[in-house]
């Protein structure tokens, strides 16, 4: 099964490798089937060979419980980018939930397992909620503190946890033999794997990875970083609690020692050895780590040392882990189609249906009133007004450092203006960038902000996050409604890519595209949000003539469908070609506004670009601003801002 994050790609080609690429899915399926059959047959096989078969079945059950826990760790660290040092704590929380339910309350351990999932999720959610503003490093430290706190609570809360002695004699569910429980644990691993896979392939999973890559970009697509973190860590907590519940049932006891940090070493070894951020790697890795742990069981204090060395070597020699490394070898690479010429469609269905929020009225769809922005002693914007109307391409020009990007950041609330207001449809814009995007104002940054490791298609699908009508729980359960929506979104994303001239590269990782293709992909991803205002910050930089044409076609198509496009651009020819209105900034002030023809001949604009010059030197402007006739009288609308 291919992971959603292709590490490296290759073309089908010819010869032996091509034959291998054809045979590979079958070979992988056969290998997986063999592995599954071996695991299913294990209790019978070992009963045949050993009189200690129950011990070995329990050993495998323990490994399965660790596999559930490592899937949980992979979800938050690999896909969510959230360092967790509290996974042994989550194991303990789940184990105590089962212990307390079964021993203290006398409930069935099965009910205890449900309770374990809930308490694991609640503990993880609480940790995220108290660390919303924490950076990655501090988040890791907070989880470490949380783990210590959980162990302390377990040791002190005698009436529920049994204090330092813990809870013993947790009854096994009736009629469940060692072998049956082994199969239950195997089923739990399969369930955890499916939950993980469905989540990372859903819109919520793509949003999680978007936040991991860049919270700023994710916000511009309407993804709330805190919500994405809360979601993935809560899901990881639920799986961690589930693993803890299984642990308690298997071992029939739980004590504060279960949460001890050193128990987590085997998890980290498994995660790094198998391949963090891959679907199957961590499960394979934890199986290997458990095997090493088993064979070093008689080494006393050296056992931890050996594990530590394995972790170190794995990280130094194979930082991608076994699965990650396999996937960058010629044999394991993801095969993508040749970049064939997919015809450019005349229509993209989704484009005709722009925008969240109310219908635009007569007034500007996006407006700035008196925006002032200072960086220390530097006034980057000194009272800028801007009014962007639906169905227009509004250019924003100005020399370097004139404040264009700062203005865009203030419009989308990526930066907070010191003075002034931003209005969307005449009403004050929401406070956060994600909420501004949700209100229909999307932005493409000056420096490409793509999700490099995922495919072009997945990048565009990430842009559709806001439009999903299904919850992440529906995505994890793969309900029929969610599957239908997924199919429709994929078709639309492919159409959009084709419309942007990237039809043949939908399955390529974004990283493998040329600079110009990356810019176009970013625009396509922003269009996928179906904005009503699309802000493009220097989109034509570094594009070839063909790519500039594709961009111009896209921009015109958006205007025809009633969108407002705000275009910051230094490519004057491009601006003159596609813009209806142009605002020119200089020194943080609006110095001119009008049609391309008006702005082109404006003396203030000429001065801003060329400095003061003697009369009659307007011909220099023809080269700089692209004016065919510089002798025409200036008719400009000056706005001193
Ligand atoms: N985060 C920041 N901290 C300090 N100064 C900043 C910051 N961002 C921008 N500036 C300054 O504000 C002024 C306006 O910068 P801005 O990037 O908005 O200009 P621009 O017109 O977009 O320029 P360019 O065309 O080169 O991208 C510049 O003097 C810049 O150095």
- Three-class DSSP category at 486: helix
pLDDT, residue 62, reads 95
Least confident window among 222-236, 242-256, 511-525: 511-525
31 within 8 A of 152, measured Cβ to Cβ = no
Q: Closest ligand 1 atom, CA of 406? A: 18
Q: Closest ligand 1 atom, CA of 398? A: 21
Residue 632: which pLDDT band, with cuts at 50, 70 and 90? very low
Instruction: Compute the distance between CA of residue 493 and CA of residue 458 in angstroms, rounded to an integer.
Output: 9
Whether 633 shows a pLDDT value over 50: the answer reads: no
Which of the 8 DSSP states describes residue 100?
A: I
The residue nearest atom 9 of ligand 1, judged by CA position, is 406
The overall average pLDDT reported for the chain is: 87
Strand partners, 566: 394, 535
Residue 343: which pLDDT band, with cuts at 50, 70 and 90? low
- The answer to ipTM > 0.90 is yes
Q: What is the pLDDT of residues 555-567, one digit of tens each?
A: 888 888 889 999 9
pLDDT, residue 173, reads 74
Whether 246 shows a pLDDT value over 90: the answer reads: yes
Q: Which of 379, 382, 405, 417 to mutate to test the pocket of ligand 1 (most atoms within 8 A of CB)?
A: 405
Q: What is the pLDDT of residues 171-208, one digit of tens each?
A: 877 678 899 999 999 999 999 999 999 999 999 999 99
Cα(436) to centroid of ligand 1, in Å?
A: 22
Q: Where would I find the H helices in 468-511?
A: 472-477, 480-499
Residue 132: which pLDDT band, with cuts at 50, 70 and 90? confident
Percentage of the chain exceeding pLDDT 90: 59
Q: Which CATH class for the 363-625 domain?
A: alpha beta
Q: Closest ligand 1 atom, CA of 402? A: 21
The residue nearest atom 12 of ligand 1, judged by CA position, is 380
Of 189 and 466, the structure prediction assigns the larger pLDDT to 189
Q: Which of 372, 386, 403 to mutate to test the pocket of ligand 1 (most atoms within 8 A of CB)?
A: 403
Cα(405) to centroid of ligand 1, in Å?
A: 7
Q: What is the pLDDT of residues 263-290, one digit of tens each?
A: 899 999 999 999 999 999 999 999 999 9
pLDDT, residue 627, reads 43
Of 363 and 13, the structure prediction assigns the larger pLDDT to 363
Section 625-636 average pLDDT: 39
Whether 635 shows a pLDDT value over 80: the answer reads: no
Whether 589 shows a pLDDT value over 60: the answer reads: yes
Q: Closest ligand 1 atom, CA of 570? A: 25
Whether 149 shows a pLDDT value over 80: the answer reads: yes
Instruction: Compute the distance between CA of residue 283 and CA of residue 267 in angstroms, rounded to an integer.
Output: 10
Section 248-276 average pLDDT: 93
Section 301-326 average pLDDT: 90
This prediction's pTM: 0.84
pLDDT, residue 137, reads 87
The residue nearest atom 1 of ligand 1, judged by CA position, is 375
Cα(408) to centroid of ligand 1, in Å?
A: 11
Instruction: Compute the distance between CA of residue 507 and CA of residue 609 in angstroms, rounded to an integer.
Output: 42
Whether 8 shows a pLDDT value over 70: the answer reads: no
The residue nearest atom 25 of ligand 1, judged by CA position, is 400
Cα(414) to centroid of ligand 1, in Å?
A: 14
Residue 356: which pLDDT band, with cuts at 50, 70 and 90? very low
Chain-centroid distance, C-alpha 550: 27
Whether 5 shows a pLDDT value over 50: the answer reads: no
Whether 620 shows a pLDDT value over 70: the answer reads: no
Whether 7 shows a pLDDT value over 60: the answer reads: no
Q: What is the pLDDT of residues 49-106, one digit of tens each?
A: 888 899 999 999 999 999 999 999 999 999 999 999 999 999 999 999 999 999 988 8
Cα(558) to centroid of ligand 1, in Å?
A: 28
pLDDT, residue 634, reads 36
Instruction: Compute the distance between CA of residue 558 and CA of residue 539 in angstroms, rounded to an integer.
Output: 15
How much of the chain is helix, strand and coil, in % rounded to 5? 55, 10, 30
In what helix (H) or strand (E) does residue 38 lie, and over which residues does it extend?
Answer: helix 16-49
The pair phi, psi for residue 443, each rounded to 5°, is -130, 145
Most confident of 286-290, 312-316, 529-533: 286-290
Residue 337: which pLDDT band, with cuts at 50, 70 and 90? low
pLDDT, residue 239, reads 98
Cα(513) to centroid of ligand 1, in Å?
A: 28
pLDDT, residue 148, reads 96
Whether 31 shows a pLDDT value over 90: the answer reads: yes
Section 506-518 average pLDDT: 87
Instruction: Compute the distance between CA of residue 354 and CA of residue 452 in angstroms, rounded to an integer.
Output: 27
Residue 630: which pLDDT band, with cuts at 50, 70 and 90? very low
Name residues contacting ligand 1 (CB within 6 A).
375, 378, 380, 398, 400-406, 446
Residue 543: which pLDDT band, with cuts at 50, 70 and 90? confident
Section 542-549 average pLDDT: 85
Instruction: Compute the distance between CA of residue 47 and CA of residue 56 in angstroms, rounded to an integer.
Output: 9
Q: What is the pLDDT of residues 572-584, one digit of tens each?
A: 888 888 999 999 9
Cα(283) to centroid of ligand 1, in Å?
A: 47
Q: Which of 404, 571, 588 to mutate to test the pocket of ligand 1 (most atoms within 8 A of CB)?
A: 404
Please state, as a whole number, how many other Cβ atoms lie within 10 Å of the Cβ of residue 94. 37
414 within 8 A of 431, measured Cβ to Cβ = no
Least confident window among 144-153, 360-369, 380-389, 544-553: 360-369
The residue nearest atom 11 of ligand 1, judged by CA position, is 380
Strand partners, 535: 443, 566
Cα(553) to centroid of ligand 1, in Å?
A: 29
Percentage of the chain exceeding pLDDT 70: 88
Cα(472) to centroid of ligand 1, in Å?
A: 39
Cα(588) to centroid of ligand 1, in Å?
A: 10
The pair phi, psi for residue 366, each rounded to 5°, is -135, 130
- Three-class DSSP category at 455: strand
Domain extent listing, the chain: 55-259, 260-330, 363-625
Cα(401) to centroid of ligand 1, in Å?
A: 5
Burial pattern 347-374, b for ≥16 Cβ within 10 A else e, equals ebebbeebbbeeebeeebbbbbeebbbe
Q: Closest ligand 1 atom, CA of 408? A: 18
Strand 589-594, strand 581-586: pairing: antiparallel
215 within 8 A of 94, measured Cβ to Cβ = no
């Amino acid at each position: 099964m291919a992971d959603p994050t292709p590490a490296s790609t290759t073309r089908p080609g010819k010869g032996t490798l091509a034959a291998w690429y054809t045979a590979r899915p079958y070979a992988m399926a056969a290998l997986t089937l063999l592995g599954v059959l071996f695991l299913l047959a294990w209790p019978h096989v070992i009963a045949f060979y050993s009189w200690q078969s129950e011990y070995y079945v329990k050993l495998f059950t323990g490994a399965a419980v660790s596999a559930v826990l490592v899937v949980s760790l992979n979800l938050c660290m690999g896909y969510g980018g959230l360092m967790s040092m509290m996974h042994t704590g989550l194991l303990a929380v789940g184990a105590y939930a089962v212990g307390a339910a079964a021993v203290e309350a006398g409930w069935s351990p099965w009910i205890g397992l449900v309770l374990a999932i809930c308490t694991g999720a609640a503990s993880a959610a609480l940790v995220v909620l108290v660390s919303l503003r924490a950076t990655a490093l501090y988040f890791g430290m907070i989880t470490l503190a949380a783990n210590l706190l959980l162990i302390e609570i377990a040791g002190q809360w005698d009436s529920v946890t049994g204090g330092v002695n813990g809870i013993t004699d947790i009854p096994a569910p009736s009629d469940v033999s060692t072998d049956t429980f082994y199969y239950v644990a195997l089923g739990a691993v399969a369930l955890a794997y499916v939950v993980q896979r469905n989540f990372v392939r859903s819109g919520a999973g793509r949003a999680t990875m978007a936040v991991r890559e860049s919270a700023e970009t994710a916000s511009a697509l309407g993804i709330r970083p805190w919500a994405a973190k809360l979601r993935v860590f809560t899901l990881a907590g639920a799986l961690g609690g589930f693993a803890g519940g299984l642990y308690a049932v298997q071992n029939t006891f739980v004590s504060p020692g279960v949460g001890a940090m050193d128990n987590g070493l085997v998890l980290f070894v498994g995660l790094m050895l198998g391949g963090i951020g891959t679907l199957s790697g961590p499960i394979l890795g934890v199986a290997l780590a458990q095997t090493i742990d088993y064979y070093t069981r008689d080494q006393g204090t050296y056992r931890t040392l050996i594990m530590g060395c394995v972790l170190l070597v794995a990280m130094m020699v194979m930082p991608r882990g076994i699965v990650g490394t396999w996937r960058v070898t010629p044999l394991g690479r993801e095969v993508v189609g040749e970049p064939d010429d997919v015809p450019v469609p005349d229509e993209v269905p989704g484009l005709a249906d722009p925008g969240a929020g109310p219908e635009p009225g007569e007034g500007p769809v996006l407006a700035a009133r008196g925006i002032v922005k200072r960086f220390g002693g530097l006034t980057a914007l000194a009272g800028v007004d801007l009014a962007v109307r639906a169905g227009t391409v509004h250019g924003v020009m100005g020399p370097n450092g004139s404040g264009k990007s700062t203005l865009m950041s203030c419009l989308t609330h990526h930066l907070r203006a010191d003075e002034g207001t931003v209005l969307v449809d005449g009403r004050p814009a929401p406070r956060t960038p994600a909420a501004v995007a949700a209100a229909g104002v999307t932005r493409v940054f000056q420096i490409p902000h793509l999700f490099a490791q995922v495919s072009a298609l997945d990048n565009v699908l990430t842009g559709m996050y806001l439009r999903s009508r299904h919850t992440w729980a529906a995505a994890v359960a793969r309900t029929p409604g969610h599957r239908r929506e997924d199919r429709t979104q994929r078709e639309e994303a492919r159409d959009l890519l084709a419309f942007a001239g990237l039809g043949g590269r939908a399955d390529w990782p974004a990283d493998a595209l040329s600079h110009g293709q990356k810019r176009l992909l970013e625009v396509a991803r922003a269009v996928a949000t179906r904005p009503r205002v699309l802000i493009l910050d220097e989109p034509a930089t570094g594009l070839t003539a063909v790519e500039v044409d594709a961009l111009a076609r896209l921009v015109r198509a958006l205007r025809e469908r009633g969108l407002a496009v705000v275009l910051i651009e230094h490519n004057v020819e491009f601006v003159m070609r596609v813009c209806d209105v142009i605002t020119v900034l200089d020194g943080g002030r609006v110095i001119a506004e009008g049609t391309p023809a008006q702005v082109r001949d404006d003396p203030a604009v000429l001065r801003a670009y060329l400095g003061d010059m003697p009369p009659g030197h307007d011909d220099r402007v023809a080269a700089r601003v692209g004016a065919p006739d510089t002798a025409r009288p200036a008719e400009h609308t000056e706005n001193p801002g």
